[in-house]
Amino acid sequence: MSTFLFVTPTWDGQAWAQHMQGAMPQRTMRVWPDMGDVADVHYVAAWLPPANVLRSLPNLKVIFSLGAGVDAILSDPTLPENTPIVRVNDPDLTMRMSEHIVLQVLMHHRQQRRLDANQKAKIWDNFPQHAASALRVGVMGLGVLGADAARKLSVMGFPTAGWSRTRKTVEGVHCYAGATELDAFLARTDVLISLLPATLETDGILNRGLFQKLARSGPFGAPILINAGRGRQQVEADIVAALDAGELYAASLDVFQKEPLAPSSPFWSHGKVILTPHSAADSDTATICAYVAQQIERFERGGDLQNVVDRRQGY
């Protein structure tokens, strides 16, 4: 008997278990706190697991994250030390994220909000639009998601750069690496896009000091921020202050320090903010379950697990 357990207290574990059962009909599905015989639990899907739950499973072989980020698993201080953590890396999720990023860049580049306001007010104003070549985009994080978004923006004609911890090679993208090259990357960037993971190093990285290092010579006279990485990366009071002071021209935010975003947040009604509810890359449930089933099948045949998280780096 091999059990697949969902330890996802903030999600609808029952609904996920039903989908996963379809992908793995021969396995028993359980949803914490109903764990059955803990000795039977070989695989777990976790998101914000309560302390000591994963540690109580003596035969646990793999912990799965049902998303690309793993911060909500690594946050468990009682996480078993040696169990591999596998995250989702799936073309469907990547495609959705790139759609979101391209959409946000174009919303700002083509001044869609201004056009919307004009339509509502019945104002015929065909103000000049800028060429893509005038707007330099810069992607923080050149992993699976960042590299794909950067490639697509580059193909559309935006001068594109990226920044990562270690140096990458991405066609059409000027690649910067490490803390020593961050300032040069920022200085040439009109639209800053974060697709970084949440780690101790990236916490609070999107702050006013960093915004002040961005280019100011672009078509809008001040830089634009797009964050679809994690809310922990952004100092929200700094974003509001920078928008109000004109240090940022606009922002597209998909992620927040605290989600769901409180009704009292100034972002809801800020005229310079495009807000989405952490929906940039909501992947298809069936696709994710098929990916997990395929990883387990491969592992049980003696193959290597794919997309295993580097716990020391935190992503």
Question: 62 or 70: whose CB is closer to ligand NAP?
Answer: 70
User: Could you confirm whether 230 is annotated as catalytic?
Assistant: yes
User: How many residues are given for the chain?
Assistant: 315
> Binding residues for ligand NAP, how many (CB under 6 A)?
30
Among 197, 218, 223, 231, binds ligand NAP (CB under 6 A): 197
Nearest to ligand NAP of 49, 197 (CB atom): 197
* Sheet of 160-164, strand order: 173-177, 160-164, 137-140, 191-194, 224-227, 250-253, 273-275
Q: Judged by CB under 6 A, does residue 139 bind ligand NAP? A: no
In this chain, which of 46, 60, 142, 192 binds ligand NAP, going by CB under 6 A?
A: 142
Candidates 2-10, 22-30, 125-133, 222-230: pick the segment binding ligand NAP (CB under 6 A): 222-230
* Out of 229, 238, 240, 296, the residue judged to bind ligand NAP by CB under 6 A: 229
Residue 10 Cβ, how far from ligand NAP at the closest point, in Å? 15
Residue of 87, 230, 311, 312 marked active site: 230
Q: How distant is the alpha carbon of residue 65 from its chain centre?
A: 13
> Under 8 Å CB-to-CB from 195, ≥6 apart: which residues?
97, 101, 139, 140, 141, 143, 145, 146, 149, 228, 229
Residue 199 contacts ligand NAP per CB under 6 A: yes
Cβ nearer to ligand NAP, comparing 203 with 247: 203
For tokens 């001044």, the residue is 111
146 binds ligand NAP (CB under 6 A): yes
Is 281 a binding residue for ligand NAP by CB under 6 A? The answer is yes
Q: Is 77 helix (H, G, I), strand (E, B) or coil?
A: coil
Q: Provide φ and ψ at 308, rounded to 5°.
A: -80, 135
x/- track of binding to ligand NAP for residues 59-78 (CB under 6 A): --------xxx---------
Residue nearest to ligand NAP (CB): 143
Using DSSP, state whether 172 is helix, strand or coil.
Answer: coil
Query: Would you count residue 226 as binding ligand NAP (CB under 6 A)?
Result: no
Question: Which residue has 């920078």 as its token pair?
Answer: 242
CA-to-CA distance for 153 and 143, rounded, in angstroms? 15
Euclidean distance between CA atoms 289 and 90, whole angstroms? 11
For the bound state, the minimum distance from the C-beta of residue 181 to ligand NAP, rounded and expressed in Å, comes to 10
Q: Is 168 helix (H, G, I), strand (E, B) or coil?
A: coil
Catalytic residue among 174, 188, 208, 278: 278
Judged by beta carbon, residue 11 or residue 132, the one nearer ligand NAP is 11
The helix/strand/coil state of 134 is helix
Distance separating alpha carbons of residues 286 and 308, to the nearest angstrom: 21
CB of 237 to ligand NAP, least distance (A): 21
For residue 301, how many C-alpha atoms fall within 13 Å in the half-sphere facing its CB?
9
Binding residue (CB under 6 A) for ligand NAP from 195, 235, 253, 288: 195
**How many Å apart are CA 190 and CA 158, to the nearest integer?**
10
196 binds ligand NAP per the rule CB under 6 A = yes
Q: What residues line the site for ligand NAP (CB under 6 A)?
A: 67-69, 97, 141-146, 164-166, 168, 195-199, 201-202, 228-230, 254-255, 278, 280-281, 315
Catalytic residues: 230, 278
